Amino acid sequence: MIQIEGLSKLYGRDVFALEDVSMHVEKGDFVFLTGPSGAGKSTLLRVLLCQDPPTSGTVTVAGRDITRLTPREVQAYRRTIGFVFQDFKLIPRKTVFENVMFALRILGVPDVQQRRRTFQVLKWVGLQHRANAYPLELSGGEQQRVSIARALVNEPALVLADEPTGNLDPDLALDIMNLFREINSTGTTVLVATHDRELIRHVGRRAVTLDHGRVAIG
Amino acid sequence: MLFAGLKYFVTEAVMGLWRGRRSTVLSTLTIAAALFVLGVFLTVAANLDALVERWSAAAELSVYLQDDVSLADRAEVQRALRNHRLVREVQFVTREQALGRFRRDFPDLAPAVADAAAHPFPASFEARLAGEAPGGDGLEALAGRLRKMRGVTDVRYDRLWLQRLQAIASLVGWAVALLGAVLALAAALTVSNVVRLALFVRRDEVEIMELVGAPLSFIKGPFVVEGILQGALGSVIALLALFIATAAVRGRLASAAPGLIDAGSISGLPAGMAVLVVAGGMAVGCLGALLAARRLA
């Protein structure tokens, strides 16, 4: 599903956020991307989201080199994956329902199907009763679940999550991880960036460790 | 799907305009002011064109006859006019018809000539000329010859000053076009700034939409519709103000110079032009919004 070869990202003249990173993630895998703060985890995910272009190297997702996409192709690519942001990135003036449904609206899914699928996903993350609430009315854990719902509503083959439990307490963090496990059990490839070793140990999946922009343990 | 997309754009645009209603009101009024000024000039130009057309259709050469002109002399004058290469059409106007015209055109002054037998309006021949009289020399010669004929008291022709009036009307038309371009640019820049402000205020939301993969047209669409709506609203307000102003001017002229100026002949902006103003306002709003949203490309 994901093939990264010799990926480097240079900021300024001599700051390598990523240096010669190579890794593979097979279809249906659940992989943690871990390492201390500043290791390059978020940078790698930003490259995978085409938010930051790499300085060198190739990144192939589902057989497609995402480093050579046009702006229009980048938007189309983003619609095929699900991304869970550390800071949730929910639109404050839209309700929970509208935030999740937005991911289907931009795909041009018919209105009726949009509503049905959105309700299904909100039920799955346990927030169907909060559909009409606004993000600011939700707790951190609820906001993160909305973010996850939005990432899943278009049934992507790949879900990327950048520190999805970074702002949550341990119990909530475990709940969120269980959600990701459930997602993965349906065949979706999951790549989660986290510095929380306890969480990785608890979930018990493959972990790729980055250190100072390099792969320490693959 | 297209209808659903448009419905989304319009809904989002209306919500956006409402949320930023203060700046919406300011920009809409600015557009309205610019289009009002343009509308005033368009109305003046339209009325001027109508006036020139009316006067062009009227007599271009008038030959006034003595009250006691003989039939033979009258026929001689008529023959001289009909046979001339510059004259396209000749019409004889009797004294009674001349009086009737005066009463029709100046109803308030009609009582001054109540005595139909003693009025000062002579009979005349009115000639319409064929095409442009080259240099006016042919007309001068014709007028000179007619003045010398028996039974003729005066010869008047309006061609030269009418041509001058047409030139002025044409100049006004050019001025309107130039003014229109300048005002359209000002209105577009106003809308552009308002949309740019809206984009700045909603930059987080725009970023989120970009990150989840919304097509650029999806992100820009509501802002473009906002611009179009502002342009449409501004032009409607301008047309309303123009309508009120035209009615006020007509009323003023009617009371200030009754009988001398036919206030009823002053028309408002023609319907076709009004539609163009609205369409132009919407186009300008759209252009302004596209200018502001191009950084999203």
Instruction: Please give the angle made by the CA atoms of A144, A150 and A152, to the nearest 5 degrees.
Output: 105
Q: Which of B97, B129, B157 is the last residue of a domain?
A: B157
Domain count, chain B: 2
Nearest-Cα residue of chain B relative to residue A151? B212
User: Which residues is A33 bridged to in the sheet?
Assistant: A193, A208
The stretch B275-289 carries a mean pLDDT of 90
Both B167 and B287 in a single domain?
yes
Alpha-carbon torsion B8, B11, B17, B21, what sign? negative
Both B104 and B189 in a single domain?
no
Nearest-Cα residue of chain B relative to residue A89? B208
Both B183 and B264 in a single domain?
yes
The stretch B86-90 carries a mean pLDDT of 86
Q: Which of B157, B184, B212 is the last residue of a domain?
A: B157
- Output the pLDDT for position A199: 86
What pLDDT, in 10s, does the model give residues B127-178? 887 765 444 557 778 888 899 999 999 998 766 667 777 788 888 888 888 8
Q: Are A188 and A83 in contact (CB under 8 A)?
A: no
The stretch A176-198 carries a mean pLDDT of 90
Give helix A96-105 / helix A140-152 axis angle, nearest 10°: 20
- A1-69+187-218, what's its fold? Rossmann fold (3.40.50)
Q: Model pTM? A: 0.73
Determine the 3-state secondary structure of A84 from DSSP: strand
Both B150 and B231 in a single domain?
no
Q: Which amino acid is at B267?
A: S
Both B193 and B271 in a single domain?
yes
Task: Give the β-pairing of B87-93 and B124-129.
Answer: antiparallel
pLDDT band, residue B57 (cuts 50/70/90) = low
More confident position, A122 or B48: A122
What pLDDT, in 10s, does the model give residues A84-140? 998 899 999 899 999 999 999 988 888 899 999 999 999 988 899 999 999 999 998
Both B285 and B223 in a single domain?
yes
**What distance in Å separates residue A136's CA from the closest CA in chain B?**
14
Contact B4 A111 (CB under 8 A): yes
Nearest-Cα residue of chain B relative to residue A94? B205
Q: Which of B91, B99, B83, B85 is nearest to B60 (CA)?
A: B91
**What distance in Å separates residue B201's CA from the closest CA in chain A?**
12
Chain B hits for A71, Cβ within 8 Å: 216, 297
**What distance in Å separates residue A106's CA from the closest CA in chain B?**
6
Both B234 and B179 in a single domain?
yes
Contact A91 B205 (CB under 8 A): yes
Q: Which of B157, B187, B213 is the last residue of a domain?
A: B157
The pLDDT of residue B255 is above 80: no
Percent of chain A with pLDDT over 90: 59
Percent of chain B with pLDDT over 90: 25
Domain of residue B183 covers 2-55+163-296
Q: Which of B193, B218, B226 is nearest to B292 (CA)?
A: B193
- Residue B107 belongs to a domain with what CATH number? 3.30.70.3040
